[in-house]
Homo-oligomer: A and B are copies of this chain.
Amino acid sequence: MQHPKPQHLMLPGPTPLPPSVLQAMASPMLNHRGEVWQELYKEVAAGVHWLCQTEHETVMLAGSGTTGMEAALCNLFSPGEKVLAICQGSFSERFAQMAEVFGLNVTRLSYAWGEAARPEDLSRLLDESGPFKALLLVHNETSTGVLNPLESLAAIARQHGLLTIVDAISSLTTTPLPVDAWGLDVVITASQKGYLAPPGLSMLSLSPAAWAACEQGTLPRYTLDLLLARDYARRAMTPWTPPMPVFQALKAGFELMRHEGLLQIQARHYQLMRAVRAGLQALGMKLLVADERIASRAVTPVYPPAGVDAEDIRKVMHNNYHITLGAGQRKLSGQIFRIGHLGYQDVPTVLGVLGCLEMTLEQLGYPVQPGTATAAAQEALRLS
């Protein structure tokens, strides 16, 4: 378990954790029906509201982000109801597929992997087809590193009377997500992405319209019953015994996040994204997402240089430098690798990773002028 050398987790989740967060997880167990627990719950819930800039009621469910996606579907809907799903990568496809598993009537607005959704396409489709009860979309498609123009897409959905249900699992903290200002009905996040916490919890915020939909939905649910979770949340508890170390970590994580500040956290992620992209491009590598305006601030997927294998890069980076990079998923498997740069990440780490990537490419027979990537990254940092 413990390594003699530092390990560098450059994944789009789980992310490295600060020492105070790790330490918080070693706290004693509590009575989950007692006052000390309720105080802890309130602090964590206040943090979620702060991050999401929302006054909507929120709940927290044991599980991964996918648990939150499932809860949204099985609470708001009844079998056969029509939803529109934007599909453009592994996680957005999963959302659409999950809706089909629960018997919803799913229409897909599909894009090539690496493209963002275009508001004009959504507008046209909603004018021509429908009606739909809801729009399902992923804010930051982690498999391709695409950041969707969420504000515009949600505005169009609202104009057409749809509820907007957003997987914001890897976008929250890295990019602005003012839930109330953008009129987002359901926003789903998870603890192991930008929250400075381990995996184990999914958080959801629901608008009054979304809560009303929960009253109507007839799909069976029990542990994921959101109305029951809301009843307990109002008393600063969960219906079921909660994953305590994750809550304890979140409390410590929010102390650090509030100290850094919401805008500062977002600016840091923007800078790291720019630095990583500049470094990779300076090495002659092709980014999956060419246009920076739709590029993820959480993860950067990239094709290896011609003649170099993506999996070889991941292996050498892991074996020689203890740097863990993300792999390509599904149709991108073996074709790309992904550098995660969200959460507890900073400039030294990112420059170090780019420097090791230079040495890795050299070792794999691709000639690199040492310092190429790190110099370009520094230049990007100066300009951003």
Question: Which residues does A use to contact B, with CB under 8 Å?
Answer: 1-2, 7, 9, 11, 13-17, 22-23, 25-34, 36, 40, 62-67, 70, 74, 98, 101-103, 190, 192, 198-200, 219-223, 240-246, 248-249, 251, 324, 327
Contact = CB atoms under 8 A, between A and B. Distances in A.
Given A14-B30, A28-B7, A245 B249 contact: yes
Closest 9 pairs (CB-CB, A-B): A200-B243, A64-B240, A245-B245, A25-B25, A14-B29, A199-B241, A22-B26, A26-B26, A64-B241
Nearest to A169: B241
Contact of A102 (B222, B241, B251): B222
A27 B22 contact: yes
A151 to B, nearest CB: 28
Most chain B beta carbons < 10 A, residue from A27, A31, A33, A198: A198
Nearest to A2: B27
A17 to B, nearest CB: 6
A29 B15 contact: yes
Nearest to A13: B241
Contacts of A66: 222-223, 240
Given A67-B223, A222-B66, A223-B63, A200 B9 contact: no
Most chain B beta carbons < 10 A, residue from A22, A63, A190: A63
B32 A28 contact: no
B15 A248 contact: no
Most chain B beta carbons < 10 A, residue from A102, A223, A240: A223
27 contacts: A1-B36, A2-B27, A9-B29, A14-B29, A14-B32, A14-B241, A17-B29, A22-B28, A25-B25, A33-B327, A34-B324, A62-B64, A62-B67, A62-B199, A62-B200, A64-B223, A64-B240, A64-B242, A65-B241, A101-B221, A101-B222, A102-B220, A200-B244, A200-B245, A200-B246, A243-B243, A245-B246
Given A63-B223, A199-B244, 12 more contacts: A1-B36, A1-B251, A14-B30, A63-B63, A64-B240, A66-B240, A67-B240, A74-B220, A98-B222, A101-B221, A198-B244, A198-B245
A67 B67 CA distance: 11
Contacts of A63: 62-63, 67, 223, 240
B2 A70 contact: no
A127 to B, nearest CB: 32
Contacts of A62: 62-64, 67, 199-200, 243
A28 B199 CA distance: 12
Contacts of A14: 29-32, 241, 244
A200 B191 CA distance: 13
A158 B299 CA distance: 53
Given A1-B27, A9-B31, A62-B62, A243 B67 contact: no
A26 B1 CA distance: 12
Most chain B beta carbons < 10 A, residue from A64, A199, A220, A241: A241
B223 A70 contact: yes
A13 B30 CA distance: 9
Nearest to A248: B1
Contacts of A241: 13-14, 64-65, 190, 192, 199
A66 B62 CA distance: 11
Contacts of A7: 28
